[in-house]
Amino acid sequence: MAFLRTPDYPANLLSKVVLLHHSLFLLFNHQFTTTQEADALQSLGVERIVNLPQGLQDLWSSVPPDRAEIVPYLEPIKNWLESETNPGDYVLIQGDFGATYLMVSFAFDRGLIPIYSTSLREAAEEHKPDGSVLLTHHFHHRMFRRYGR
């Protein structure tokens, strides 16, 4: 792992070491594809990709729709990110809209880089004899985009 040492840091930061290689942490409801993995390694320059532990993944994937306040619900995920991340790490954040908003704000406050995956969506409709319509969606990853402030 490469380290950056520079004499122009303020005295109180001289004991700290800044990592040049960063990680990508996934707060994501879907399976990360091999295309997304390859893009993350190449375009973001991350050294590793880190999934949520299973218990936290279960929390993230099932934010209760009938709960008025979800800040306390997200605390275990925030605590895990605080213990595992370093400033400059990327966090892919996609899921429940409210949870996503709160975690993007948290990421900015922590010095992390929140991103999301963009995709090309293709839809096909099949009209069934019983009058129903079968709608099939295909998603093709295009790029990672940073959230704006």
Better pLDDT: 49 or 123 = 49
In this predicted structure, the answer to whether residue 115 has a pLDDT above a threshold of 80 is yes
Alpha carbon distance 22, 54 (integer Å): 22
Q: Do 112 and 88 contact (CB within 8 A), yes or no?
A: yes
Domains of the chain, residue spans: 21-146
Per-residue pLDDT tens for 34-44? 999 999 999 99
Residue 124, CA atoms < 13 Å, CB-side half-sphere: 5
Query: For 11-36, what is the mean pLDDT?
Result: 74
pLDDT band at 20 (very low <50, low <70, confident <90, very high): low
Decide: pTM greater than 0.85: no
CATH code of the domain occupying 21-146:
3.40.50
Number of neighbours of residue 115 by Cβ within 10 angstroms: 21
In this predicted structure, the answer to whether residue 9 has a pLDDT above a threshold of 70 is no
